[in-house]
Amino acid sequence: MQPMTAPLADRTASLAETGHSPLLTARDITKTFDRTRALQGANFELREGEVHGLLGANGAGKSTLSKVISGHYTLDSGELTYRGQEIRLRSTRDALRIGIAIVMQETSLVPDLTVLENIFLPELGRPGRLDYGQLRKRGQEILNDLGQGDSLPFDWEVRRLSSAQKQLVEIAKALGVRAKLLIFDEPTASLSPGEAERLFDIMARLRDTGHGLVFVSHRLEEVFAITDRVSVMREGRTVMNAHPTATLSQADLIRAMVGAELGAIYERGETHHVAELDAPVALEVRNLASAPAVRDVSFTVRKGEILGLGGLVGAGRSETVEAIFGLRPRSGGTVTLAGKPLKGDRPQTAIRAGLGFVAEDRRTQNIVPDLSVKENLLLAHLGAHRGFFCSYGQREKKMKELLAKLGMPEDRVADSSMLNFSGGMQQKIIIARWLLLEPSVLILDEPTKGVDIGTRASIYAMLRDIAAEGVALVVVSSDFEELLGLSDRVVVISDGRTIADLPSAMLDEESLTLLAAPRTSMVRNTEMLNDLAREHGGSGFWALIEGERLICLNAVVSNPALDPGFKAGQARELGATRIPEALRRREPIFVPEADRARTTLVVPMTSPRGHDLGWVGLSLPADRPLPAPDTIKSRIDTMAATL
Amino acid sequence: MANSEALDRRIPASPLKQFAQRLEVRMLLLALLIAVCLSFLSPFFLTKSNIFNLLDQSVVIGIVAVGMTFVILTGGIDLSVGSVAGLTGIILGLSLQHVPIVPAIGIAVVAGGFIGLISGTLITVFGLAPFVVTLGVMAIGRSLAYIFSGQTAISNIPMGMQDIVYTNVLGIPSNVLFLIVLYLAAWAYLTYTKGGRTVYAVGSNKEAARAAGLNTTFYSILPYVLSGAFAAVAITFSISQLLSADPLMGNGMELDAIAAVVIGGASLFGGRGSMFGTLIGVFIMVMIRNGLNLMGVSPFWQGTAIGTVIILALLVERLVSARISR
């Protein structure tokens, strides 16, 4: 990195006056980890005085790009230009020195130092005595500029602060070194709605004082609420480069994130016929809660069925399956395995009841490195076994069968370490560890994580074989393509709640992405739909409508005769629904359908910041007196206004 | 299922190399080397009486090292064995004033196990650091040993105690025989039972062991119980020989035991180690001490010599193993 020279500083100052000068430009950035190409031609442009949303599905490369910009990773090739000058960042210190900071989740704070010391941590590294009085004054100025004059106790140790306060310390710390470019990586993930609102105020102030902000988020509502422009990444590339947020719709963003042609996917959803399984229920989960990540999860899986648990990273999927298996305390709900309630006290109970669990992280949760391959294979047997000795002999025959299936020579079983095998083979051995016990339900958390593409196919084949033998499989995956390809049915979890349960043939990556995006409004919206549908004896729904197509976000039917013809997560042509008239007209009155049996009111829902949140509809029987449309509309507006 | 995919990242080592990769094997060579050197340095070293002497001296430290091996296999450490030995020795001495020999030993061993249970529970259930907990117990144990004994040695130990040490079975002294049987039993337990394998699994990857349904809590506590109980057993043999129980007994024993286990190839991070390795470690420690005595080296210099050997052994080991596994 070259030092910033005085003339350059002058130049940027004069540019700042003209406004909207590019602060940072990234061109054709590539970055490879081992064999994974995390970035393969990423482009990005950030201006002064803007909040720039950076979006992408799981693993699209947005976090990697953020970390390249903030100096955590060095880029393999490509070009970073900051304030008109090409830069080479070797470390976060390089980035900080020129004014680039990343606000992460509490990770860069020292919990045992005070707030003030943390804000000025970079100063602690300098020789000479610290003038605490001076620092305190500067700290106060920074907070005042953020409009947060008295929200941080300077003398408290950071460990005593709430997540939101810690985040404020991070922001103040960045401003303490006069950072000009701030990257916020999923900043609202651990904040309450009120705290998130305050963060947005802070971000708006920073924007107005000429800072450039990058906002990385899964939450589309927030992206619309705070950003000026949006870039979308997919598979390590920038697929939408700096579009003004105001010109975009949710569907535009999702389309860019998924990268598929809408029409083609819709057709598939319509034509596929879904065979309903009538096999007995193997596992039933009702209203499961495990504080703080799992709030309300329900699903069932039948014998021989592959159920996918979809959602974004952090949605609470891993926590859900760990709570089912007894690795994590439950705070509510029930789990029923083959008709009998399953306690969640410890894994051994679950294993003996016939449950198997391949945990997400192979290295830390599955492999015992000092035991031989054979003993790793037999580890779950050891856990389930009652008796003083190991009794490995009991499983000898079954083990040979499995090894033959895995394509592993028998003598390799004696190898002293699992770590000599490829990731795919390790995963197969871990799966075989559970098959040895002949479980009735097998849960797999990210079964192809860190497995090369070639071996994935053979793991999928293996899982299908297992299901064909009558085992119920629950597969957690962040890869939506894998989820849809592998599962018979998909349950979507968002913010710790099940929000959709649909045959995978009815879903596509786009609708899955749309459903999985966490929505602050989902809970209250569901309540409202429930109330409306019950009070008036009809059915309610919440959907995005675009041209002739609709994507349903939520549907509540209290009168089966009034089913609108779509469920949460489904995409439909308007003509294929049972209420095409009302959906096409979208007038502020109840619109009767051609058969005169039902009449429907469709009302737009708008966020307090004026963004389109889709349409809420209420279908009622036509032969009864109708409520005043304005009453319904004002209820929806009131709900939306407080989101 | 596809048979053709890559099985390996690395090529497996040949059996000979795998054998040489075992740390115990290399430490056995070191033990033999030390024995050969000492037999050249001192004409008395390789005599029959000195070999019996060596075995005799191995008993006390050897027994303590069994419990220590279990603890270290789970990734823990027990600094309290020396003072637990001192305390249980005093308990034994006091009990002998009131009850016959066998129940008195029983009381001492149960007391040792109970202290281990407390340490193990604090460490496993409350998540305290093993180093700190056993350091605390070490201080408490020594202090209680002084208080219970009234600061003086208990010397009126019944003569019958000597039978424990000086009975010969098939020409082998009973204490040496006990050591051999104990090591065989511990080895069999660690190798062939569910509990033994769980101890290894807990030390190697506790998270994975728990997810596989193993009872990680119980088998994390058990080693401390065994360690405490074996400290009491060890001191019983000591007292039988000396016919005296001193509150200072077992002082520094924890370091000898830890050194023996580590020289024997165990990893302080857990999961790696064996009874055979520990036994070699014990012999190396005892041989060095014995050899230095035979050569008339001042006891004040022995600590320096032993410390140097430990560090050198591990240093050479580190350099050699880095080369082998490359």
- Out of A367, A388, A457, whose CB is closest to B208? A367
Mutate to test the interface with A, among B5, B23, B204 (most CBs of A within 10 A): B5
Please list every residue in chain B whose beta carbon sits closer than 8 Å to the beta carbon of residue A364. Answer: 205, 207-208
Q: What token pair was written down for A479?
A: 């890869």
Q: What are phi and psi of A590, to 5 degrees?
A: -70, 125
Half-sphere exposure of B165 (CA within 13 A, CB side): 22
Q: Which of A366, A382, A406 sits opposite B1 (nearest CB)?
A: A406
Which of A:457-496 have CB within 8 Å of B? 457-458, 461-462
C-alpha span between A254 and A252 (Å, rounded): 6
Residues of chain A found within 8 Å of residue B209, distances taken between Cβ atoms: 368, 379, 383
User: Do the bridges between strand A181-185 and strand A100-103 make them parallel or antiparallel, or are there none, so unpaired?
Assistant: parallel
**B113-156: pLDDT as tens digits:** 999 999 999 999 999 999 999 999 999 999 999 999 998 999 98
A370 touches chain B (CB under 8 A): yes
Q: Which CATH architecture has domain A1-99+180-195+203-248?
A: 3-Layer(aba) Sandwich (3.40)
Measured in angstroms, the CA of B265 and the nearest CA of chain A are apart by 13
Query: In terms of CATH, what superfamily is A519-641?
Result: GAF domain (3.30.450.40)
One DSSP character per residue, B205-244 reads: HHHHHHHTT--HHHHHHHHHHHHHHHHHHHHHHHHHHHT-
* Residue B33, C-beta contacts closer than 8 angstroms, at least 6 positions apart: none
Cis omega (within 30 of 0) for bond into A292? yes
Which conformational region is residue B182 in: left (phi greater than 0), alpha (psi within -120 to 50 degrees), or beta?
alpha
Average pLDDT over residues B154-167: 89
Q: Exposed, middle or buried, B49 (CB in 10 Å: 0-12/13-18/19+)?
A: exposed
In chain A, which among 336-365 make CB contacts under 8 A with chain B?
A: 346-348, 350-352, 357, 359, 364-365
CA dist., res. A98 & res. A94, Å (int): 7
Q: How far apart are the first and last CA of chain B?
A: 33
Chain B nearest-CA distance from A72, in A, is 29
What element of type H or E holds A541? Answer: strand A539-546
**Contact state of A382 with B197 under an 8 Å Cβ cutoff:** yes
Per-residue pLDDT, A35: 61
Phi and psi at A43, nearest 5°, equal: -120, 150
Query: What does pLDDT average to in each consecutive run of 10 residues of chain A (643 residues)?
Result: 42 44 91 79 93 85 90 91 91 89 79 90 78 89 85 88 86 90 86 80 92 88 89 90 88 78 37 55 95 91 93 86 95 94 93 94 90 93 91 90 82 80 85 94 90 76 90 91 88 87 78 74 79 87 81 83 82 85 88 86 78 83 86 84 66
Q: Which helix (H) or strand (E) holds B151?
A: none
Annotated domain spans of chain A? 1-99+180-195+203-248, 111-178, 282-515, 519-641
Judge whether A121 and A110 are in contact, CB under 8 Å.
yes
Question: What is the C-alpha to C-alpha distance for residues A550 and A547, in angstroms, rounded to an integer?
Answer: 8
Burial group, residue B150, by CB count within 10 angstroms (0-12, 13-18, 19+) = exposed
- The pLDDT assigned to A611 comes to 66
Q: Which of A357, A390, A420 sits opposite B10 (nearest CB)?
A: A420
Chain B hits for A412, CB-CB cut-off 8 Å, are 7, 12
Hey, what are A298's tokens? 């329900």
In whole angstroms, what is the distance from residue B78 CA to residue B119 CA? 9
- For B148, the token pair is 């219970």
Tokens read off for A194 = 């009120």
Confidence at residue A308, expressed as pLDDT on a 0 to 100 scale: 94
What is the β-pairing status of strands A50-56 and A212-216?
parallel
DSSP E strand stretches across A108-267:
181-185, 212-216, 229-234, 237-244
How far is Cα A252 from Cα B83, in angstroms, rounded to an integer?
A: 72
Question: Does any CB of chain A come closer than 8 Å to the CB of residue B18?
Answer: yes
Contacts of A409 in chain B (CB under 8 A): 7
| B16: CB partners within 8 A, 6+ apart | none
Task: Residue B212: list chain A partners with CB under 8 A.
Answer: 347, 351, 379-380, 382-383, 433
CA distance linking residue B281 with residue B24, whole number of Å:
9
What span, in angstroms and rounded, lies between the C-alpha atoms of B198 and B219? 7
| A581's tokens | 């008239």
User: ipTM score of the complex?
Assistant: 0.86
Dist. CA A474–CA A445, nearest whole Å: 8
Local structure of A209: helix, strand or coil: coil
- What contacts A181, CB < 8 A, 6 or more positions away? A23, A24, A46, A69, A82, A99, A100, A101, A211, A212, A213, A214
Six token digits for residue A372:
């031989």
Query: Could you tell me which of B245, B194, B283 has the C-alpha nearest to residue A380?
Result: B194
pLDDT the model gives residue A627: 87
Instruction: Return the pLDDT at A506.
Output: 73
Cβ contacts (< 8 Å) between B211 and chain A: which residues?
325, 327, 347, 357, 359, 365-366
**DSSP one-letter string for B18-85:** HHHH-HHHHHHHHHHHHHHHHHHH-TTTTSHHHHHHHHHHHHHHHHHHHHHHHHHHTT---TTHHHHH
Q: Which residues from chain B sit within 8 angstroms of residue A347, using beta carbons?
A: 210-213
Interface residue B218 vs chain A (CB under 8 A): no
CB contact under 8 A, A382 and B7: no
- Identical fold at A1-99+180-195+203-248 and A282-515? yes
Residue of A nearest to B214 (CA): A383
For chain A, give the number of residues.
643
**Which residue from A94, A363, A73 is spatially nearest to A236, judged by alpha carbons?**
A73
> Which letter does DSSP use for residue A365 in this model?
I
Residue B21 has pLDDT above 70, yes or no: no
- Residue carrying the six token digits 């294993």: A351
In Å, how far is A67's CA from the nearest CA of chain B?
Answer: 30
Higher local confidence (pLDDT), B326 or A545: A545
Tell me whether B192 touches chain A (CB under 8 Å).
yes
Question: Which three-class secondary structure state does DSSP give residue A558?
Answer: coil
- The answer to whether the Cβ–Cβ distance between A368 and B9 falls below 8 Å is no
pLDDT at A596: 81
What's the mean pLDDT in B187-209? 96
pLDDT of residue B13: 52
- In chain A, residues with a C-beta closer than 8 Å to the C-beta of B215 are 348
Residues 6+ apart with CB under 8 A from A133: none
Say how far residue B199 (Cα) sits from the centre of its chain: 16
Higher pLDDT, A576 or B65: B65
Q: What is the pLDDT of residue A442?
A: 97
Return the CATH class of domain A282-515.
Answer: alpha beta
What is the identity of the amino acid at B117? L
The reply to whether B9 touches chain A by the CB within 8 Å rule is: yes
Strands (E), chain B: 168-169, 172-173
Strand duo A441-445 + A571-573: pairing: unpaired
Classify residue A364 by its DSSP letter: I
Up-side HSE of residue A223: CA atoms within 13 Å toward CB?
A: 30
The CA distance from A166 to A172, in Å, is: 10
Listed residue (B191, B254, B198, B250) closest to B221, CA to CA: B198
Neighbouring C-beta atoms of residue A351, cutoff 10 Å: 25
Q: Compute the residue count for chain B.
A: 326
Identity of the amino acid at A428: K
**A143 has a chain B CB within 8 A of its CB:** no
Pairing of β A497-503 and β A237-244? unpaired
B300-318 exposure pattern, b = at least 16 Cβ within 10 A, e = fewer:
eeeeeebeebbeebeeebe
Give the residue carrying structure tokens 């975009």.
Answer: A248
d(CA A582, CA A524) in angstroms, rounded, equals 24
Please give, rounded to a whole number of angstroms, the shortest distance from the CA of B207 to a CA of chain A.
Answer: 5
Q: What is the pLDDT of residue A268?
A: 33
Q: Are A309 and A488 in contact (CB under 8 A)?
A: no
A280-to-A305, A435, A442, A470 alpha-carbon distances in Å: 10, 20, 16, 10
Calpha distance B239→B59 (Å, rounded)? 12
Output A323 or B18, whichever has higher pLDDT.
Answer: A323
3-class secondary-structure state, position A54: strand
What is the rounded distance in angstroms from the CA atom of residue A565 to the CA atom of residue A574? 10
Asked if A604 and A543 touch (Cβ cutoff 8 Å), the reply is no
Q: In what order do the strands lie in the sheet with A571-573?
A: A571-573, A549-557, A539-546, A612-621, A598-606, A591-592
d(CA A298, CA A497): 8
10 Å CB burial of residue A386 (0-12, 13-18, 19+) is exposed
Query: What residue has token string 């940072």?
Result: A24
Instruction: Find out whether B228 and B66 touch, Cβ atoms under 8 Å.
Output: no
Kindly state the tokens that stand for A513: 């992405």
Whether B2 and A380 lie within 8 Å, measured CB to CB: no
Q: What stretches of A303-428 adopt beta strand conformation (E)?
A: 306-310, 332-337, 340-341, 355-358
Q: Which residues on B lie below 8 Å from A407 (Cβ)? A: 1-3, 5
pLDDT at position A273, please? 35
Q: Count Cβ atoms below 10 Å from residue A27 Cβ, excluding itself.
A: 14
DSSP H or E stretch at residue A284: strand A281-290
Given CATH 1.10.3470, say whether it is the number of domain B27-37+44-313: yes
Note whether B272 contacts A: Cβ–Cβ < 8 A: yes
CA angle B280, B268, B125 (to 5 degrees): 125
